[in-house]
Structure 1
Amino acid sequence: MTANEDQEMELEALQSIYEGDDCFKELSPVSFQYRIGDLEDAKAFLLDISWPETYPETSPKISLDAFFNNRICPEVKKTIVTKLEEQVEANLGTAMMYTLFEWAKENQQQLMETHHPVNNALTLTSSSESVINANFSSSKKKEKKEQLTKSQKRKLTGKTDNKGELPRGWNWADVIKHVSFTFFIIIFYLYC
């Protein structure tokens, strides 16, 4: 069998095995992603594996460069890739995608045991910058906007026109109160 035939057979097998699995994603006929762990799990990671032309005779390319993995430190990423490459070497010449995904799922805790979430939101180069940024952020606090629930948003959109404005007289209770109050004032002035 040629490499392309092996790849076609493995692709069909993967599609049937992982049909309906939210963790598996086929990016192209030779590139796949598999999420190890739940979305809420701090130790979850996303495997990117792509096949070269001569796969399975040559090793697939394994990557953890997806944005999902930004909170994982480089050392842990390197450890995961190294362990997976050991599995690749043991299975070279055979269809191994299912084996790699399942091995990663079974060994997730071991692979992520040294994991400590990384915060990439702000990288400072010196301590003086951190003091400046701390003073700036404490002096300028953002105002929080009132958050509406989904049902409140739905009700509001049902009442507004295409410009987002409420139509004239949309709240009849207020209109009736206003008219009755005005009527009361007119009668009061007529009789006084």
Structure 2
Amino acid sequence: MTANEDQEMELEALRSIYEGDESFKEISPVSFQFRIGDVEDTKAFILDITWPETYPETTPQISLGGYFNKKISPETKQQILSKLDEQIEMNLGTAMMYTLFEWAKENQEALMENHKPVVTAVTMPSSEINTSSTGKKREKKEQLTKSQKRRIVSRTDHKGELPRGWNWFDVIKVGASYLFSTRWCSY
């Protein structure tokens, strides 16, 4: 079998195995994402896997660079990738995506044993710091666009008041049914 036939067969198998599974996502016919662990789990991570043209005879490209993995330290990411490379070397030449995914799920604790979540500092702009330290809160004024201002002006008279009856509606009896005009009541 050629590499493309092997890829097609493995792709068909992956689709049938992981149909409806939220942990598996097919980005393209040669690119996939596998989530290891629950979304809420602090030790969860996502594997981005891409098949090269000659896969499964050559190794797939695995990445942990996604946004979901930002809380994982670079050392832990490197450890995960090196352990996955060992599994890839053992399965080279065969369809290995299911094997890799299940192995990673079973060994999640071992892969994340040295995991210390990366904490990013949140900085506040100096204007927010000054207002919070004085205890005064600035009231934010509503900003209107030009088209919103024009619409308001077109509905009001020169004094800024709405014309009498602007929110009334008319009921017209036609036969046994009632029709309402286009002016609707605001209450």
Mark yes or no: TM-score above 0.5: yes
Name the SS of the counterpart of 1:113 in structure 2: coil
Q: Deviation above 2 Å: which 4+ runs of structure 1?
A: 119-122, 133-143, 167-170
Shift in Å at residue 135 of structure 1?
7.6
Residue 65 of structure 2 is aligned to residue 74 of structure 1: no
TM-score between the two structures when normalised by the length of structure 1: 0.66
Q: SS at the partner of 2:113?
A: coil
Correspondence for 1:186: none
Instruction: Please state how far the C-alpha of 1:108 moved relative to its aligned partner.
Output: 0.4
Deviation at 1:134, TM superposition (A): 9.5
Q: How has the CA–CA distance of structure 1 residues 139 and 11 changed in structure 2, closer, same or farther, with 3 Å as cutoff?
A: same
How many residue pairs get matched? 140
User: SS at 1:140's partner residue?
Assistant: helix
- The structure that is helix-richer by fraction is 1
Q: Distance in 2 between matches of 1:140 and 1:109?
A: 45
CA distance in 1, matches of 2:9, 2:103: 21
Query: Residues 7-58 of structure 1: CA distance to partner in whole angstroms, max 9, x if unpaired?
Result: 0000000000000000100000000001000010000000000000000000
Structure 2 spans left out of the alignment, 5+ residues: 138-183
Instruction: State the TM-score, normalized to the length of structure 2.
Output: 0.68
Cα separation, 2, equivalents of 1:90 and 1:140? 61
Gaps of 5+ in 1: 123-129, 144-166, 171-192
Q: Name the Cα RMSD after superposition.
A: 2.5
What is aligned with 2:28? 28
Q: What are the equivalent positions in structure 2 for 1:1-192 lying under 5 Å apart?
A: 1-122=1-122, 138-141=129-132, 170=187
AA aligned opposite 1:114:
N
**What is the percentage of aligned positions where both structures have the same residue?**
66
Displacement of 1:137: 5.6
Aligned-partner Cα distance in 2 for 1:138–1:96: 53
